[in-house]
Every structure is written in structure tokens, then in C-alpha cells.
Amino acid sequence: MEQDAHVRLYLVKTFLSTVETVKEATLKQALRDLAGLFVFNTIYDCSFSFIEDGYMSTQQIEYVKSALYASLEKLRPNAVALVDSFNVCDRELHSVLGRRDGIVYPNLLEWAKQSDINKLEVLPAFHKYLGPMMKNARSKL
């Protein structure tokens, strides 16, 4: 576990120091917020070890948890932009909910229409499993 803690510490330090090199103020603030989330999430992920080894109390972990939720709240306005900055396309995410153009529901409907699961009116699994089960249940009434 020591190597895991070392890697996490390295990631946190590197993230924080890199954020401070950003010149543009708005971007820097968004990245600071993201870094805060990363730090609190990292601490919370390791909370069992911190408590077990006596580095933190359960009360301190509760403070970290509160700070984690506060970080999420703070990041919410920039969440889509931050995810978009990773340039992962909607198809890779298997989602149209974070679309840059904001046209979510018409595109969600189109994706659903194109899904293999919606090619048939009733899926074969219904006839194989659910249909007989429902028929059996009705016969017992």
C-alpha cells in the first residue's frame, strides 16, 4: 500500500503544482476546483488506511467528505466544459447527455431508435423468459 500512497501523493503534488503554472485566471480557477475535488476524493478513497494508521479521525474524514461534496457543487457549472476538454466523443462515452450543442433529447431519441435493442417490437428474451413466467403467474390467479 505504501507504493499506492506514494503514487497518489505524487499525482496530487503534480496536479497542484501544474495548476499553479496556468496563466489564464478563469481556467486556473476551474482547474483549482477540479484539483480540490481530486485531492478530497483521493483522501476519501484512502480514508480507511488513514483511520487505521491513526493519521485521521472519523470526524476528520467526515470533514473531507463534506469538502468533497462541496467541491462537486462548486464544479457543477463547469462540469460539461471540463469533460469536453478531454475531447472524448459521445460515442465513446455511450451517451449524448453531455452534448456541446445542447441538443440532448432529440439526439437521445435518435440513439434509442438506432439501438439494436429497439430493432424489434418485442425482444426474443420476452418470449423466452418473461412471457411464460407471466402466463404461469396469471394461471395461478
* pLDDT score for 70: 96
Q: Which domain holds residue 6?
A: 1-87
Q: pLDDT per residue over 103-135, tens digit each?
A: 888 888 888 888 888 888 888 888 899 989 998
* pLDDT score for 2: 67
Q: How confident is the model at residue 72 (pLDDT cuts 50, 70, 90)?
A: very high
- The total of structural domains in the chain comes to 2
CATH of the domain at 46: 1.20.140.10
DSSP the chain: -HHHHHHHHHHHHHHHHHHTT---HHHHHHHHHHHHHHHHHHHHHTHHHHHHTTSS-HHHHHHHHHHHHHHHHHHGGGHHHHHHHTT--HHHHT--TT-TT--HHHHHHHHHHHSGGGSSSS-HHIIIIIHHHHHHHHHT-
Same domain, 75 and 121: no
The overall pTM is greater than 0.75: no
Same domain, 66 and 102: no
Same domain, 112 and 62: no
Same domain, 130 and 79: no
Same domain, 69 and 83: yes
Same domain, 5 and 55: yes
**For the chain, what is the mean pLDDT?**
88
